[in-house]
Amino acid sequence: MAKVYVSSVINVPAAEVWRVVRDFNALPKWTPFVADSLIEQNMRADQIGCVRNFRLKDGGLIRERLLAMSDYDLSYTYSILESPMGVENYVASLTLTPVTDGNVTFAEWQAEFDCAPERESALVRQIGVNVFQAAFDSLKERLER
Amino acid sequence: MSAMVKVRQSTIIDAPVADVWRILRNFNGHDRWHPAIVASAIEGIVPADAVGSVRRLRLSDGSELREQLLSLSDERLLLTYCLLDGPLPLIDYVASIRVKRVTDGDRTFWEWHCEFKPPADRRDELVRLVTEDIYQNGFAAIRQLLRRVSSSPAVESRPSASPASSSGPLNERSSPRSVARSRAIIVSHYGGPEVLELKEIVLPQLAWGEVRIRHTAIGVNFIDVYCRNGSFNLLKPPAAPGMEAAGVIEAIGDGVTDFKIGDRVAYACLPVGAYSERRNMSPELMVSLSSDISDETAAATLLKGVTASFLLHDVHAVKPSEIVLIHAAAGGVGQLLTQWARQLGATVIGVVSSDDKAHIVDRLGAHHVIVRSGENFAEAAIRMTNGVGVNVVYDAVGRETFEESVAALAVRGHLVSFGQASGTIGERDVNRLTSKSATLSLPNYVHYTDSPDKLEPHIVRFFSALRKGLIQVQPPKKYDLANAADAHRDLESRRTTGPLILTV
């Protein structure tokens, strides 16, 4: 089981960050690598079990199912149904925690998955750096200005 | 009527999470950084990271409070504690301290959270006090501390010029931040010698005030058997047993001033964990070894020597005119007691379980030797003392000998029951002691040795007696660390005489 953990500090209040990332269909709005996204079967984007179907700017198609969401904990969890990455049993969580000192946000994004052993370190780096951290960076850029 | 309030405060500290956690996890170290706390002490003989330990804090206004550690997780980097009593009505106060790594910039997220029931009319005042005076001031203090530590060159450049540390792998491991591995004998559950299993463990980074010692020789004592089989609760599985060892200091943590890398040291104290190649521990009860005392001698004799010293000088101060009966006189402590009591001028009766052992005790200078399997030792002792009985009995056998030991005492005699090789003494009728005005002592090693003040005189006295040749120690029987189970089997079978050590 491979694990990825990325965390950052976003210098705006957690409620503000949550308003942006809570929308499970909003990846094109706040990540640099998603071209477009739709929620399958006309479900709501905050309906547990809904599937987001999005296209990366490099052309790859990914389908992810929302497994849990909490407006109390500012957190949601999802799994990958289909992707070009060659991962299995992929489950990820995005969690925001208010930092009272300065009223900013501690943001964590973590994933666990299975893959071919020789690909593990490359995938961990790819997901950690090019997906999670890159998304946090663009979120910071968008919100902190 | 009061309602529960919650306080949650969090901050980002610009330091790696391991550095922050190392400081926060020390439940008995918050006085070193929190401006409101003047002093901290753990109650009883309990390590600060034992869940359930109680710390007594003295605040800058002179008041005192007691708090209990409810949970500690080095995996989740979380500790929780509650207030037991104190000067403020923080009723049902339960707090948690949690840190997390901020991978972006290698910083630390730190959250301090609590719940408590204040009296309604003091709610706002108490919430503000917890929020600002305790939590926010604590954040500021740690931020300040870590800034100071990271800008202080002294921390990373500890002395390492000693010849002992310039050879071998020591230098690579001399940083307190480095991760060290150790082979260790781990007891996963209480049981027989077979539960002593060799495993490889990773040592945590050194905490404040700790040193890392590389063991060269490790003492094997009967107390280790009691820890292994669960008779004593000094070891909570999974953990390594062992209270006695000698070795070399190979790394020192922040705040250590009395020792340096390369120092030869020995110890005989809690917490358990000596059955290992290396370990981290507070050096408070360590002693520096002079060049005339070898590591093996120190590891083989320190605990027994200190025990013999307080038994003969503190528990019962043996006087030249007295008659002393010593059980298991050919055993580790028994041999020391026999020689030392004679040096103190007492008449010594040694009790042993075989003829072979009788020869040993005879050679050590006992005036009389009784072989226990052959005769009733109490009757023999009464006969040898012309019907008077003995002034003091040192009894580490326990269950089997207790009644007869009482019978062997003179009027106003003293039974010192300091071991239980045959089982605990169990429930006894102490009324029998009144017929002789007898005294019963049940000394516990820890209570005579748990501070430098208590320990020091015994160490000095024992090493001095060794140097002068007043007492002599058999060369220890050696076992490889991996074969600790064999050492325990031999010790428990009573086949051994004299000390046993594990070598690394």
Q: Is B412 exposed, middle or buried (0-12, 13-18, 19+ CB in 10 A)?
A: exposed
What is the least distance, in Å, from the CA of B10 to any CA of chain A? 5
pLDDT by residue (tens digit) across B330-360?
888 999 999 999 999 999 999 998 888 999 9
pLDDT of residue A6: 97
pLDDT band of residue B146 (cuts 50, 70, 90) is: confident
Any B CB within 8 A of A95 CB:
no
Is residue B40 within 8 A of residue B67, CB to CB? The reply is no
Partner residue opposite A8 with nearest CB, options B104, B111, B139: B104
pLDDT above 70: residue B405: yes
Classify the complex by whether its ipTM is higher than 0.90, answering yes or no.
no
Q: Which of B218, B277, B210 is nearest to B243 (CA)?
A: B218
For an interface test with A, give the residue of B10, B77, B139 to mutate (most A CBs within 10 A).
Answer: B10
Is residue B177 within 8 A of residue B205, CB to CB? The reply is yes
Kindly identify which residue of chain B lies nearest to residue A136, measuring between CA atoms.
B104
Angle subtended by helix axes B222-229 and B484-492, to nearest 10: 110
For an interface test with B, give the residue of A6, A106, A139, A140 to mutate (most B CBs within 10 A).
Answer: A106
**CA geometry: angle B191, B196, B197, nearest 5 deg:** 130
pLDDT by residue (tens digit) across B412-460?
999 999 987 777 888 888 888 888 999 999 998 889 998 888 998 999 9
**What is the C-alpha separation between B90 and A92, in angstroms, rounded?**
39
Is residue A97 within 8 A of residue A14, CB to CB? The reply is yes
A with B: how many residue pairs have Cβ under 8 Å apart? 52
pLDDT by residue (tens digit) across A96-110?
999 999 999 999 999
Mark which residues 107-136 of A lie under 8 Å from B by CB.
108, 128, 133, 136
pLDDT above 80: residue A10: yes
Mark which residues 139-168 of B lie under 8 Å from A by CB.
139
**What is the C-alpha separation between A70 and A92, in angstroms, rounded?**
14
Give the residue-averaged pLDDT of A70-93: 95
Partner residue opposite B109 with nearest CB, options A5, A102, A106: A106
Place of tokens 């403020």: B88
**What is the C-alpha separation between B469 and B475, in angstroms, rounded?**
14
What is the least distance, in Å, from the CA of B131 to any CA of chain A? 10
**What is the C-alpha separation between A1 and B48, in angstroms, rounded?**
35
pLDDT of residue B234: 86
pTM: 0.53
What is the least distance, in Å, from the CA of A49 to any CA of chain B? 29
Place of tokens 């919100």: A143
pLDDT of residue B374: 66
pLDDT by residue (tens digit) across B18-34?
889 989 999 998 988 99
Any B CB within 8 A of A8 CB:
yes
Number of continuous H segments (helices) and E segments (strands) in chain A = 4, 7
User: Do A9 and B101 lie within an 8 Å CB cutoff?
Assistant: no
User: Do B100 and A108 lie within an 8 Å CB cutoff?
Assistant: yes
User: Do A9 and B107 lie within an 8 Å CB cutoff?
Assistant: yes
Q: What are the structure tokens assigned to A10, written together?
A: 């976003």
User: Do B104 and A108 lie within an 8 Å CB cutoff?
Assistant: no
User: Do B104 and A6 lie within an 8 Å CB cutoff?
Assistant: yes
pLDDT of residue A45: 93
Kindly identify which residue of chain B lies nearest to residue A6, measuring between CA atoms.
B103
Query: B491: part of which helix (H) or strand (E)?
Result: helix B484-492
Any A CB within 8 A of B179 CB:
no
Provide the edge-to-edge strand list for the sheet that holds A75-82.
Answer: A2-10, A104-114, A88-99, A75-82, A61-70, A51-56, A34-39
pLDDT of residue B197: 93
- Contacting residues of B for A5, CB less than 8 Å apart: 101, 103
Partner residue opposite B101 with nearest CB, options A7, A99, A136: A7
Q: What is the mean pLDDT of chain B?
A: 88
Q: Is B232 exposed, middle or buried (0-12, 13-18, 19+ CB in 10 A)?
A: middle
- Contacting residues of B for A128, CB less than 8 Å apart: 103
Kindly identify which residue of chain A lies nearest to residue B132, measuring between CA atoms.
A101
User: Do B10 and A6 lie within an 8 Å CB cutoff?
Assistant: no
Provide the edge-to-edge strand list for the sheet that holds B107-117.
Answer: B5-13, B107-117, B91-102, B78-85, B64-73, B54-59, B37-42
pLDDT of residue B302: 95
